[in-house]
Structure 1
């Protein structure tokens, strides 16, 4: 029986689909291409020699979900679909609550109606808000989120925990991502944002390849070692493998479990620029600008629980992330456009 991956053509979703296929799983992808391209799935099929069952559409489409469940006998779902820009969410909060919260409710309702009880949910370290203590553990305080994107992820987490209590058959894993970076080592799939990138690494990459004139560094007066924001960057393939580990893990302690997926190391914006310059042999011009609404000074993980229970840990370092990101950008200066 195949696994349904919502948002499976997107950045993290596509790398996870690749990992699943390589591990022998059959995969069904549902994606509306609001921030993705079908070309990523074509390339995954080329890399793996396996086919992906594909539906174009939205998670909030109940009739489409019913058809997918019936036609494919789905029993497990990995739910990536949703909007993910912190800055955009501050400007368009209702759009984020509709896409990230309301659509997730539809998915959960249709899962239960169709006797599907296994779900892995794509959450975010933004649920911790402005962290009081670093590194962050799963038991660290959540809430006080600084942007609607983070609030939308936390709302879905609350919903899933409540559903798990009311429905003992549910088997839910919540994965809190830190900052995905890099690309598949082939350079065939990677991050392809619409317009000016919101995430740091594709922004740096597009400056390096000449698509953008310089990098804007949001804030240089944070209480960090060089004044710029510090984050836990994790290679997207490590993140993808974390989903496979969660899928294979049969837990007994709870029917709704939460794990941080990070490296346990924090790097600043200037650290990333230096690492990218080393790997690409390019110079990255940048300028400091005002802090961005919704950003926090630093955020990095304690990933011990995932290592202990999922038997998973990140194995790729910062230099590998930057090398693979540059490889993808060089081979695909215009992303998936062909």
Structure 2
């Protein structure tokens, strides 16, 4: 892959792993990040783990004052396309601050689209989410499942998918892949990059990891009265390195399309694990106790969801390879080596 790719949110958890994967395949990168939920140190470590050209632009895609700088930098870079990962991503926070989520996530996408159009680089791999499905589908969920997101975060993802599909209808030269991914966990096997959330983690695995390393006393398990095998929520966990390979595979697929397209594709392992099963696996990996207590369900959470990932294999030749135990071992390696994240 000798492509030139813009990676928005490229210093974030998923973005840093995507950047390493793309660089390792020979791509050159323009990373755009405002470091709102990421750290500049991640960019240094990306370059440590993979050789190649990395240009960093510290700007906020959702800030109108930065639009000119972003447009100019993208045009100067002369990209082939973009992987769009920048945005706000906490379900609970989106319920409390819906307007902020709509403004930031949609504005960021519009700014990127305009910059790519100006640079004649009409290819986007968009970081969507399984949250677009809601809870009305039988599992495993395929791409034809009913879309009914249960929270504002999921609705921003859904609206952006629709916006990009409308764009591809209006202008047949756009090539778009909306990657609906399930629950990314784990870290690069080197332990050099991983998930480093600001404040209290919103996601299960970084919270478990912070309990295991002694930063937090107790894990709160939200809901133990779901209609699942042990009463706790069931999710499809996917190793972040598998996810990164999926983005590279999607770019490869789009680069071969002779006409425009807009596709929705699940990236998941196709297996559901409960919260308690995830806790048990992390306990095995870390050899630490993970004290937990049950708490009421959170608004916007659903009982169970896992993917039918067959389309990603059919189109991209991609499938998840790493197990839940791999995910826990790699996540623990990152957390134990970097107990305070990039500030360690």
Which TM bucket (shorter chain)?
over 0.9
Conserved? CA contact 1:187–1:324, under 8 Å: yes
Match of 1:42 among 41, 44, 59: 44
Moved more, 230-239 or 94-103: 94-103
- Structure 1: unaligned runs, 5 residues or longer: none
1:166 equivalent to 2:170? Answer yes
1:119 equivalent to 2:124? Answer yes
Task: Report the Cα offset of residue 253 of structure 1.
Answer: 8.5
CA distance in 1, matches of 2:213, 2:236: 25
1:2 is aligned to 4
The 3 A distance-change label for structure 1 pair 252 and 308 is farther
The 3 A distance-change label for structure 1 pair 191 and 284 is same
The two structures have a TM-score, normalised by structure 1, of 0.97
Match of 2:318 among 312, 315, 333: 312
Q: Number of matched residues?
A: 337
Conserved? CA contact 1:131–1:299, under 8 Å: no
CA distance in 1, matches of 2:22, 2:260: 24
1:21 is aligned to 23
CA distance in 2, matches of 1:314, 1:254: 27
1:323 equivalent to 2:326? Answer no
1:255 is aligned to 261
> Counterpart of 2:57 in 1: which secondary structure?
strand
1:239 is aligned to 243
Deviations 1:37-62 (A, max 9, x none): 01111011111233411010011332
- Structure 2: unaligned runs, 5 residues or longer: none
Conserved? CA contact 2:24–2:51, under 8 Å: no
The two structures have a TM-score, normalised by structure 2, of 0.96
1:57 is aligned to 59
Match of 1:83 among 65, 88, 97: 88
Deviations 1:138-186 (A, max 9, x none): 011112x211000000000110111100000000111001000000000
CA distance in 2, matches of 1:237, 1:253: 30
1:180 equivalent to 2:184? Answer yes
> Counterpart of 2:281 in 1: which secondary structure?
helix
Residues 140-219 of structure 1 mapped to structure 2, 5 A cutoff: 140-143=145-148, 145-219=149-223
CA distance in 1, matches of 2:90, 2:311: 27
1:291 equivalent to 2:293? Answer no
CA distance in 1, matches of 2:257, 2:138: 28
Deviations 1:243-300 (A, max 9, x none): 0000111246961011000000000000000000111111100000000010000010
